[in-house]
Chain A
Amino acid sequence: EAGVAQSPRYKIIEKRQSVAFWCNPISGHATLYWYQQILGQGPKLLIQFQNNGVVDDSQLPKDRFSAERLKGVDSTLKIQPAKLEDSAVYLCASSFDGYTFGSGTRLTVV
């Protein structure tokens, strides 16, 4: 079974720039999550989708972060404008009868 695909693997941007991450979950997994993992901490949920609807975005900084899953499959997470404290690994996961995580996108904001 193919895993959760994420791109890009690495991204370096300057503060105040915008950036977008892409996630392709496992086929048939209705639930998709975006997590933020800051160095030295565990992953923290940003947003959870069920098909193309948002289940939980209570921890998403909505003034700068946005996410969509238009057709209930792929998802994009955007940050605009980025801040230094957004430097982290952004993990996508999907679940059906178990959680599967992608390899993440490591974002460095300079």
Chain B
Amino acid sequence: AQSVSQHNHHVILSEAASLELGCNYSYGGTVNLFWYVQYPGQHLQLLLKYFSGDPLVKGIKGFEAEFIKSKFSFNLRKPSVQWSDTAEYFCAVNDGGGSQGNLIFGKGTKLSVKP
């Protein structure tokens, strides 16, 4: 069965610091990869997704992620975080069904940005 691992449970950064959140998945076939953000009290929102093509994916709000197939990784990055980035971040994968099919989520990483 597929699984998704997010290495950090809680990350605390100061504003303007750089961010990298780790995500590894366990599935050898075709995968689609996603990062979602959940602000306090709000619904899950898509930050970015990878289906195919350029492994460096740019998303909303200055986030990007790099798909490294050999490492089964899809780490999320942002060069300079803001206080408004305080939220919980979830990595998710499906078995190549595009935007259909069950999404397998990681446990999430809570990001706290200090002003």
User: Considering the chains assembled together, what is the distance between the CA atoms of A3 and B46 in angstroms?
Assistant: 13
Which 8 pairs of residues, A with B, have the shortest CB-CB distance?
Answer: A42-B105, A101-B44, A103-B43, A45-B102, A101-B43, A98-B99, A43-B105, A42-B107
Which residue of chain B is the closest to A103 with respect to CB atoms? B43
User: Considering the chains assembled together, what is the distance between the CA atoms of A103 and B92 in angstroms?
Assistant: 18
Q: Which of A56, A98, A104 contacts B102 (CB 8 A)?
A: A56
Q: Which residue numbers of B lie inside 8 Å of A, CB to CB?
A: 4, 34, 36, 42-46, 90, 92, 99-108
User: Considering the chains assembled together, what is the distance between the CA atoms of A93 and B92 in angstroms?
Assistant: 14
* Structural contact, A104 and B99, CB atoms closer than 8 A: no
Whole-angstrom distance between the Cβ of A77 and the nearest chain B Cβ: 16
Q: Which of B92, B99, B108 contacts A95 (CB 8 A)?
A: B99
User: Considering the chains assembled together, what is the distance between the CA atoms of A96 and B99 in angstroms?
Assistant: 7
User: Considering the chains assembled together, what is the distance between the CA atoms of A100 and B104 in angstroms?
Assistant: 15
User: Considering the chains assembled together, what is the distance between the CA atoms of A91 and B43 in angstroms?
Assistant: 9
A33 at the interface (CB under 8 A from B): yes
Main secondary structure of the interface of B (DSSP, over half): loop
Residues of A within 8 A of B44 (CB): 43, 91, 93, 101
Task: Convert A19-37 into 0s and 1s, putting 1 for each residue whose CB lies closer than 8 angstroms to a CB of B.
Answer: 0000000000001010000
* Structural contact, B107 and A45, CB atoms closer than 8 A: no
* Structural contact, A31 and B100, CB atoms closer than 8 A: yes
Known A-B contacts A56-B102, A99-B99; A40 and B46 likewise in contact (beta carbons under 8 Å): no
